[in-house]
Chain A
């Protein structure tokens, strides 16, 4: 028997959603692995370095005589929390370009909360599958918390993201500094994200004020018992899936690579100790053959043989 329209769409969104999530995870993983597999580089840190005792004024261990004899204290958690906190403030932008921040901040808050919203929908669905009701009058406190968290993150992300997309688009058009370097793809991205956020907003306001359909849709995905949703919700789900597929083609991974850049480059002051692991890694790099053709270079010989 041929599939009717609804059946087809149910299966289509389900497959698209599975694919979108798998795609983004795989694509991001490939990119991250590629980044992390890049060889150890020469030291190129910039001060202040977060784990230094004198971080508050940008000081370093080099301010001491015989600095190599002092114990080296590394508190990665401090750097991690500093970076994490900045995601929620975008402090540098606020300090240096308020106009830009006014668009960038709600736009990023939109991203952070729309991802959180979908993760919460997933967990909400998991709870539902395990018998916990998700509603404002649920018997289970967890059900009430999840209910309001989904509602809060969803609505906040739709509103904030839509406002942010509009302002940042305007910023890029009217600020000459930004416009000169903006590509057509960047404008398309802003328009696309605006549509994604607006579709969510429309769906919430006109169709699904409790955002129940998303949870039920996720229950369907988890149990392989796909369900149909209202057209507006369906449109938002499709757009969000496409957005997930699109993300790896943008510079969006900066959310993660920023951590690498700070820990592996900007704050990387790990000294090379005689006989240590790093020395072994460096020695390996020294065996690479150089193909540079400058007249002062012995082309074809290794770094060690130069």
Chain B
């Protein structure tokens, strides 16, 4: 495939064929049994741009007239110009400038990209491909370099709506795991380029995956949560949690809500309340047993830590971050603790640090260190033999490579899981689950299949490899993923490949393992069933 094919009138630029994919270990070592990515229907192909790789993440409607095509391109260029301006993009201008100007195209980053490797090295997924296209567009249409100079510097490109639409889709084939940036000797960040392209589409063209924008950040700001949970619904959920805790553990716990002046405001990814309520219950059980002074918030958005803005829109990022901080300020808590959600960690604690000023600059930290403190200092009584099954740890990129929280979760697992084992590579060198940067929640058409087959493939390979000696269904095994989006991705990945049935591997969070080991709880907290 030639670089310039991106703008050519070709049905589908890249086809994902099972024989091209990197092989998986036993029992998935026969490519003939590889589940396929669903083909799009003729109607879907007719209505939406799907010519990149036969997959639709965003669902960009096809223009029907020449004028619409031209407007589409014009708006993209207008957005690109703003992306390069100080006023509109002070938030990332310096890192963007560096990555655009100083990449020497040595391709050292290629092998770090899970999507590129897993796909059998499809050109469009190469970490340097998107930046190359963007650089060429900038040279020709923004800097307006002379044609002969464009030829000399290899900046030939012809802009049309199809190229722009494909580039938009392509920005959603990178999980922003930034492993490519980590290996770059010159500090170039090709993941950031995907992030910045997404911003042009959202902030200028009003185009973003529905799950991230319309039912994501917009809904969160309007109704309180991207899950649709309203403050009223939350009250019911909390009541349900208290009943469940009593039924499962015999403990009568009153979950504190809106407690003014509490030491800690704990904010979960609200997806936990719906998909994995045992996680939020486990937090309540542990904090109660360790006598932590904590509270949840029932304020609008105060019970949902997610901030999808961090993946595609700086304005939405800032709005949500400030909303979270305002709630903490109103509650007069000493600090915010973020539950098991990787991107919320990164967004709230790190990225938003330079968005929160004055009284909104409330101390924020991860829940993992306090959990480590509780476990390592025996603030609750634990019996590791209750977790005597093989356990491995998935490192959420946002917490680990992007924040440096590496050890607390390991210290806990070493103490409470006798058969804890590491995947390779792990820690800051980990591979993304394949659901990063919003992918885990994006359910558009056949996109979930793509993230199972391509972006999540290396993670599945790692999980199968680490359990290879106990891979039979006779041994139950657990993947600990202390992040909601990673769990969502692993759930879909396992379902796609039928991993629970074929290998008896369950996934879940960290706190569930802690509660499972608590001596004063009679029944196992972890229920060994697929959900």
Contact = CB atoms under 8 A, between A and B. Distances in A.
A62 B154 contact: no
Interface in A40-67: 40-49, 52, 54, 57-67
B244 interface: no
Contact of A66 (B153, B182, B218, B365): B365
B478 to A, nearest CB: 23
B93 interface: yes
A292 B82 contact: yes
A51 to B, nearest CB: 11
A104 B108 CA distance: 13
Contacts of B427: 57-58
Nearest to B395: A58
Given A46-B178, A65-B370, A184-B151, A178 B354 contact: no
B183 A47 contact: no
A277 interface: no
Interface stretch (A18-26, A195-203, A234-242, A261-269): A261-269
B318 A182 contact: no
Interface in A62-121: 62-68, 86, 90, 92-93, 96-97, 100, 104
A65 B90 contact: no
Nearest to A183: B154
A43 B353 contact: yes
Nearest to B370: A65
Contact of A63 (B155, B351, B369): B369
A282 B110 CA distance: 35
A93 B404 contact: no
A32 interface: no
Majority-rule SS of B interface residues:
helix
A44 B352 CA distance: 10
Contacts of A30: none
Contacts of A222: none
B87 A177 contact: no
Contacts of A292: 79, 82, 88, 203-204, 315
Interface string B306-343: 00000001111011000000000000000100000000
A173 interface: no
A306 interface: yes
Contacts of B92: 41-42, 44
Contacts of B357: 272, 274, 279, 282-283, 286
A272 B128 contact: no
Nearest to B361: A274
B40 interface: no
Contacts of B365: 62, 65-67
A39 B90 CA distance: 6
A182 B154 contact: yes
A180 interface: yes
Interface string A207-242: 000000000000000000000000000000000000
Interface stretch (B165-173, B185-193, B276-284): B185-193
A246 B188 CA distance: 23
A97 B406 contact: no
A45 B365 CA distance: 16
Nearest to B78: A293
A184 B403 CA distance: 40
Given A66-B335, A294-B206, A296-B316, A38 B401 contact: no
Contact of A254 (B102, B108, B403): B102
Given A93-B185, A262-B187, A292-B88, A272 B404 contact: no
A92 B349 CA distance: 30
B428 A293 contact: no
Interface string B407-448: 110000000000000000001110000000000000000000
Nearest to B192: A44
A107 to B, nearest CB: 12
Given A41-B94, A46-B178, A178-B106, A306 B82 contact: no
A46 B79 CA distance: 27
A291 interface: yes
A279 B361 CA distance: 10
Contact of B111 (A60, A96, A178, A264): A96
B102 A47 contact: no
B223 interface: no
B107 interface: yes
Contacts of A188: 152
Given A272-B357, A289-B87, A58 B428 contact: yes
Nearest 3 CB-CB pairings of A with B: A60-B404, A261-B187, A183-B154
